């Protein structure tokens, strides 16, 4: 879809219509304009907009990590999107650029032990709140990938936000690279589990290593393949 078509969709969204149709139109717009949500807020005079995302809900090992990023108004980094859709080389490049250009960055890390105590859903919310609290600049509004948070700052929860919002995309990269580096370090200590490649996810090689060598302190005891 070209830029003219995007503008036509935005015009359509300003006409009275039902909520379902508005959501469908909004989805079409933001998939082609990942500044849509940020621009919508800035038009209301809201300037310090944070994006929040997490990584590490599915792995059997290590923490869940969240990041909070506040970008300048005219931030532009071509190709930035959901970290899962980027190569490791591109993630590392974008990580450095985001850290260089961002107005503020915060990271939240919740250990595997806490995950086992409270469950991964609650641990994810804890990581996100910690990332917001650790952000190095003021925040007027928070855009969150899917999750709803009970915090004192106004929030917008966006399904697949890491694809639709440039700010959430930036947060997804910071969270992903931060956690991947932690697993790379763990791999040096326990190379038999192949953490450098699987990042703690339940691959065949990882599961075979658990059967052969047992589990380590960093494994999540509450996860099926580990607890069995």
| 145 in a labelled binding site | yes
Range of 168's domain? Answer: 36-179
Residue 210 lies in a domain: no
Q: What is the pTM of this model?
A: 0.87
Q: How confident is the model at residue 66 (pLDDT cuts 50, 70, 90)?
A: very high
Whether pLDDT at 228 is above 60: yes
Whether 159 and 172 map to the same domain: the answer is: yes
Whether 26 and 120 map to the same domain: the answer is: no
* pLDDT score, position 2: 43
* Long-range contact set of residues 207-215: C-beta below 8 Å, sequence gap at least 24: 210/60
Whether pLDDT at 145 is above 80: yes
Q: Order across the sheet with 141-145: list the strands.
A: 104-110, 64-70, 49-55, 141-145, 155-158
Whether 63 and 84 map to the same domain: the answer is: yes
The token duo for 10 is 């935005």
| 54 in a labelled binding site | yes
Whether 40 and 29 map to the same domain: the answer is: no
Residues facing residue 23 across a β-bridge: none
| CATH number, domain containing residue 48 | 3.30.420.10
* pLDDT score, position 88: 96
- The model's pLDDT over 168-205, given as tens digits with 9 standing for 90+, comes to 999 999 999 999 999 999 999 999 999 999 999 999 99
Whether 27 and 90 map to the same domain: the answer is: no
Residue 192 lies in a domain: no
* Of 5-9, 25-29, 40-44, highest mean pLDDT: 40-44
Residue 191 lies in a domain: no
Residue 204 lies in a domain: no
Whether 90 and 57 map to the same domain: the answer is: yes
Whether 49 and 162 map to the same domain: the answer is: yes
Whether 27 and 58 map to the same domain: the answer is: no
Whether 9 and 24 map to the same domain: the answer is: yes
For 34, 103, 223, the CA distances from 219, given in Å and listed in that order, are 36, 35, 9
Residue 143 lies in a domain: yes
Give me the percent of the chain exceeding a pLDDT of 70: 86
Residue 43 lies in a domain: yes
Q: How confident is the model at residue 119 (pLDDT cuts 50, 70, 90)?
A: very high
| Tally of domains within the chain | 2
- The model's pLDDT over 80-90, given as tens digits with 9 standing for 90+, comes to 999 999 999 99
Residue 62 lies in a domain: yes
Residue 28 lies in a domain: yes
* pLDDT score, position 227: 82
- The model's pLDDT over 42-53, given as tens digits with 9 standing for 90+, comes to 999 999 999 999
* pLDDT score, position 27: 54
């Amino acid at each position: 879809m070209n830029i003219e078509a995007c503008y036509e969709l935005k015009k359509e969204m300003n006409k009275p219509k039902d909520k379902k149709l508005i959501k469908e139109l909004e989805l079409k717009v933001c998939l082609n304009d990942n500044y849509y949500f940020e621009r919508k807020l800035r038009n209301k005079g809201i300037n310090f907009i944070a994006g929040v995302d997490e990584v590490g809900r599915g792995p059997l090992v290590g923490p869940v990590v969240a990041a909070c990023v506040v970008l300048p108004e005219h931030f532009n980094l071509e190709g930035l999107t959901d970290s899962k859709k980027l190569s490791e080389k591109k993630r590392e490049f974008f990580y450095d650029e985001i850290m260089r250009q961002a107005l503020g960055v915060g990271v939240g890390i919740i250990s595997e032990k806490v995950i086992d105590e409270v469950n991964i859903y609650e641990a994810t919310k804890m990581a996100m709140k910690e990332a917001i609290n650790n952000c190095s600049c003021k925040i007027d509004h928070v855009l969150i990938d899917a999750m709803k948070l009970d915090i004192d700052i106004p929030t917008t929860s966006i399904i697949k936000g890491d694809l639709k919002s440039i700010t959430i995309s930036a947060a997804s990269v910071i969270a992903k690279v931060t956690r991947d580096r932690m697993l790379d370090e763990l791999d040096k200590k326990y190379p038999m589990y192949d953490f450098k490649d699987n990042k703690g996810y339940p691959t065949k090689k990882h599961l075979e290593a658990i059967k052969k060598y047992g589990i380590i302190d960093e494994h999540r005891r509450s996860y099926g393949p580990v607890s069995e």
